[in-house]
Chains A and B, each alone.
Chain A
Amino acid sequence: DSGVTQTPKHLITATGQRVTLRCSPRSGDLSVYWYQQSLDQGLQFLIQYYNGEERAKGNILERFSAQQFPDLHSELNLSSLELGDSALYFCASSLQQDTQYFGPGTRLTVL
């Protein structure tokens, strides 16, 4: 158990819908990272927050947004969903720029 929690574990929704994925980092970690794992793109970095502020952006679509709250949990919002958004979404946390520990992931299926 990495100490990082993600909910929900599975999510099935339809095209055009909006979903929210939630992540709670390990106790004491200030950084939260979001990654997307798909068969064609592999594991891709989406976005990082550090102590409530956006720190870095990767290959994140404009339809996707994230935030980190004062209690350091983070949410990833995916809107206007398309079939191609079906993937495994991971959250990871770290204290600063050191080892990232990953949550169990949320498997999103868009029908």
Chain B
Amino acid sequence: AQKVTQAQTEISVVEKEDVTLDCVYETRDTTYYLFWYKQPPSGELVFLIRRNSFDEQNEISGRYSWNFQKSTSSFNFTITASQVVDSAVYFCALSEFSGNTGKLIFGQGTTLQVKP
């Protein structure tokens, strides 16, 4: 069965701290995509990154970095030197290639609060 687990419900840090958001997924497919989305207090869902199952290279984009490890079925997200504007709910999601649909299976989300 497809499943995404974000075990951390809420995280609170002080500005400039580094923080890692965990994501563990389950799938029987060998080909799939993993995503992270950000939902700020305004409510929209903002795309951050997509990774396909064949590409285990870590990625860095500014203060954001992602660590994909197939061996542990994890796709963790690290924010370096966090800022107040990073406060949001972050969702990890899985999309399988089989079934000819790109529907997303979301985790429950992690609420990140960055305090000044």
B57 on interface, CB distance cutoff 8 Å:
no
B64 on interface, CB distance cutoff 8 Å:
no
Which of B37, B101, B106 has the most CB atoms of chain A within a 10 A radius of its CB? B101
Which residues of B from 91 to 116 have beta carbons under 8 Å from A? 91, 95, 97, 99-109
CB pair B102 A100 closer than 8 Å: yes
B41 on interface, CB distance cutoff 8 Å:
no
A45 with B47, Cβ < 8 A, contacts A55-B100, A97-B100, A99-B35 known: no
B3 on interface, CB distance cutoff 8 Å:
no
CB pair A45 B104 closer than 8 Å: yes
Closest B residue to A97 by beta carbon equals B102
CB pair B103 A101 closer than 8 Å: no
Closest B residue to A95 by beta carbon equals B102
> What's the tally of chain A residues with a CB closer than 8 Å to chain B?
27
Report the minimal beta-carbon distance from B6 to chain A, rounded to whole angstroms: 10
CB pair A43 B43 closer than 8 Å: no
A88 with B43, Cβ < 8 A, contacts A98-B50, A102-B37 known: yes
A97–B98 alpha-carbon span in the complex (Å): 10
CB pair B103 A56 closer than 8 Å: yes
A101 with B91, Cβ < 8 A, contacts A55-B101, A58-B103 known: no
Report the minimal beta-carbon distance from B9 to chain A, rounded to whole angstroms: 11
A33 with B43, Cβ < 8 A, contacts A42-B108, A99-B50 known: no
A-B contact pairs, 30 of them (CB 8 A): A2-B46, A35-B104, A42-B109, A43-B104, A43-B106, A43-B109, A45-B104, A48-B101, A48-B103, A55-B100, A55-B101, A56-B100, A56-B101, A56-B103, A58-B103, A92-B45, A92-B104, A97-B33, A97-B101, A97-B102, A98-B50, A99-B35, A99-B50, A100-B102, A101-B47, A104-B43, A105-B43, A105-B44, A105-B45, A107-B43
Which 7 residue pairs across A and B have the least CB separation, nearest first? A97-B102, A56-B101, A102-B45, A43-B106, A45-B103, A104-B44, A99-B50
